[in-house]
Amino acid sequence: MDEESVRAVYEEVPRVEVTAAAAELLGRLRAAHGPLMFHQSGGCCDGSAPMCYPDGEFRTGGSDVLLAELDVPGVPERVAFWMSRSQFDVWSHTRLIVDVVEGRGSGFSLEAPEGVRFLIRSRVIGA
């Protein structure tokens, strides 16, 4: 693939998407907590999982990248998905898919009391 074709694929493919199960959970969390956001830091343990917070509760800065503003069915406003710049450098060639699985994480993410946790699945862009 030439450089122009590669650039077109990167611009065409959404950087982040959510599964139906994650969308359903986000709808419930939105009803309970108001507007939402994600941040994925890339730290150890649960830091490498996407954390869901009330919008604006996690302070982002110059070391973070806004990957997407997600349109999620059942959520009236877009859900921002932020990632630390160092983590973005590792994941920049992939499409991130936010999913939810049984089991509780150990972070401060809003879904923890539900007995589930968000996780990232990925696909190489262009594959």
Q: pTM of the full predicted structure? A: 0.84
Model confidence over 63-82: pLDDT tens digits? 999 999 999 999 999 999 99
Model confidence over 15-52: pLDDT tens digits? 899 999 999 999 999 999 999 999 998 765 555 689 99
* Closest of 77, 9, 93, 107 to residue 119, by C-alpha: 107
Joined together, the tokens standing for residue 54 give: 């009330």
Residue numbers of the domain that contains 112:
3-124
Q: How far apart are CA 24 and CA 11, in angstroms?
A: 27
The pLDDT score that the predictor gives to residue 11 is 54
The pLDDT score that the predictor gives to residue 49 is 86
CATH number at 96 reads 2.60.300
The pLDDT score that the predictor gives to residue 9 is 41
Q: How far apart are CA 104 and CA 97, in angstroms?
A: 19
Domain count, the chain: 1
